Structure 1
Amino acid sequence: MTSEDFIPARLRRLWGRLESSRLGRPAALDVNRVVTASVEIADRDGLGGVTLPKVAESLGFTGMSLYRYVGSKDELIELMADAAMGTPPSIPTDDWRHGLRSWAFEQRAVFHRRPWLTRVPTSGPPSGPNQIAWMEAGLAVLSRTRFDWAHKIGVLSLISGYVVQSVRLYSDLAEGRAEGQGQADAERDYGRALVRLVEPERFPETARLFSSTLFEDAPSDASDASIADADFTLGLDLILDGVAVRIERSGS
């Protein structure tokens, strides 16, 4: 028994640890081709548009033939997600706050290009080579702090979870708006409607919120992207402020 025997088949496929063809000739199909075709479909039709028959048809094969290369659709999605994330760019490590901010914004850029990635179910910790590369980049940023491993992983999980949810929310809100309506106009309409419905006697603090100028302050010419950037940055700064407090307590 070799060390490879202890690695599940799905992880061997995820890391490209595949056995060569016993027949000595190249296979007509391979895992990389299946994954590449699947990612192309997801980029075009979203995650819901990826089915084994559709992937097989795009490659000129039958749906059943794909099971020789991926064990299930769930495994295919895992392979797709890792491939679609790609490897992270160079992340600065001289300052933890600047580094984590860059790490978060670079992930966000990937998810904006491929919003279907935010719909991939989380079935476990990072396992693929590209996901591990992103983890490595984040751990390198935190390497100069005195955080233990649990704190480092906790910080990265918190930030990456925030990135996913913020991009997913942005996508959902964009889909829910009336055609041609921008984020600033949608927020203004929302505030003007709710201020008439929220009763101060029942919801005193929320009524104060809708009576404020918050929903009216966004410039009419503000782009959806600039509003999303401001909202994302605010939330990220709140998280990083909390990390700073914990780092100070740890004496880092």
Structure 2
Amino acid sequence: MTEIEPPELPRGIALAWGVAASPQRGPKREMSVERIVDAAVELADAEGIGAVSMAAVAAALGFTPMSLYRYVSAKDDLLLLMQEQATGLPPESIREHSHWRDRLLALYAEQVLLYLRHPWMLSLPINGSPITPNSSAWLDASLEALEGTPLSADERMAVALAVTGDARWCGIVQAGYTEQSRGSGLSPDEVAVRESELYDRVITADEFPALRRAIDSGVFTSPDDPFRFGMERVLDGVSSYIDSLDHGGAREPVTDWIAIEPAELAGDRRLKEAQKAVREAEKALRTARRVERQALREARERVAKPAKTV
């Protein structure tokens, strides 16, 4: 039987693990992968990920772009190493929490802080599982928090991914508000008020009744943290499931992945045309309903007016 060779580590991942070959030529001592990544992270923190290029990083270090390529051969590798450095290791303080729920909440909060400190990380694509050392350490910490529970390995991974996903979504929204605040000169609270006012201009009770009621109740200016609330409720569900397992309840695996139809993936032309026609019909229907609601309001106003006496 032929043995299958394990896949070779991509250079960026090999660099992250410290197992990539060092350059044979190029500047000595003055240049290193660490210095390159430090400069790139500093640039991204100050100006955003769009400011990061091999030329810009080289200029910050006082070298030519070609000298950088001897150490980091591709920008994708640089981005991966930047993410790895900015991620860092989970703080030791999370181990102060002995209960799985408290530890996961601490990990959630620390991950949100990571995104707030380095919002450019949210612009980087997610390419598979976290294979770099620091990213692996965060996943390991979440799985370790659940080791004393009756959850299976698959279930622990699912919970860990839920925590990470919620933290990322919270980071995306909060970083967006922070960016708006910087660009407008408004405080985050003032940005929220302005957003609520914008909704006031376009969201009507006729067209979006539930959303209109939520806006009127002040959801966009509420001091409550909806993301933490959601995370707490997710963990409520996990806790209930663990209690069920502790009392002999059956496991509830979910194997039905949400997936796009193969025909859609194949880019079938007739299917795309049909989907476009549906979108256009839905748009026309929304417009017709808007006209109908306006006509109904006007009709009610006419009926409500007192009849003129002759």
- Give the TM-score band, short-chain normalised: 0.7 to 0.9
Query: Which piece of structure 1 moves more, 161-170 or 174-183?
Result: 174-183
- Distance in 2 of aligned mates of 1:38 and 1:130: 18
Correspondence list, 1:93-112, <5 A: 94-112=98-116
- Distance in 2 of aligned mates of 1:46 and 1:87: 22
Quick check: 1:58 aligned with 2:60? yes
- Distance in 2 of aligned mates of 1:5 and 1:28: 33
Aligned partner of 1:245 in structure 2 is 240
| Post-superposition offset of 1:81 | 0.3
Quick check: 1:205 aligned with 2:210? yes
Q: Report 1 or 2 for greater relative contact order, CA contacts < 8 Å, sequence distance ≥ 6.
A: 1
Aligned partner of 1:174 in structure 2 is 178
Is the 2:115–2:175 Cα contact (8 Å) retained in structure 1? Answer: no
Aligned partner of 1:221 in structure 2 is none
Secondary structure in structure 2 of the residue aligned to 1:124: coil
Q: Structure 1 residues 67, 139: CA separation in 2 closer, same or farther (over 3 Å shift)?
A: same
Correspondence list, 1:55-134, <5 A: 55-90=57-92, 91-92=94-95, 94-134=98-138
What do you get for the CA RMSD once the two structures are aligned?
A: 2.9
Q: Structure 1 residues 66, 208: CA separation in 2 closer, same or farther (over 3 Å shift)?
A: same
| Post-superposition offset of 1:51 | 0.3
Secondary structure in structure 2 of the residue aligned to 1:37: helix
Structure 1 gaps of 5+ residues are 219-226
Q: Taking structure 2 as the reference length, what is the TM-score of the superposition?
A: 0.67
Aligned partner of 1:146 in structure 2 is 150
What percentage of residue pairs aligned between the two structures are identical?
31
Q: Structure 1 residues 11, 192: CA separation in 2 closer, same or farther (over 3 Å shift)?
A: closer
When Rg is computed on C-alpha atoms for both structures, the one with the higher figure is 2
- Distance in 2 of aligned mates of 1:6 and 1:198: 54
Correspondence list, 1:158-237, <5 A: 158-176=162-180, 179-191=184-196, 194-195=199-200, 197-215=202-220, 218=222, 227=223, 230-237=225-232
Is the 2:84–2:133 Cα contact (8 Å) retained in structure 1? Answer: yes
Amino acid at match of 2:212: A
Aligned partner of 2:256 in structure 1 is none
Give the length in aligned residue pairs.
239
| Post-superposition offset of 1:204 | 2.6
Structure 2 gaps of 5+ residues are 248-310
Q: Structure 1 residues 122, 215: CA separation in 2 closer, same or farther (over 3 Å shift)?
A: closer
Q: Structure 1 residues 73, 96: CA separation in 2 closer, same or farther (over 3 Å shift)?
A: same
Is the 1:21–1:27 Cα contact (8 Å) retained in structure 2? Answer: no
| Post-superposition offset of 1:104 | 0.8
| Post-superposition offset of 1:175 | 2.9
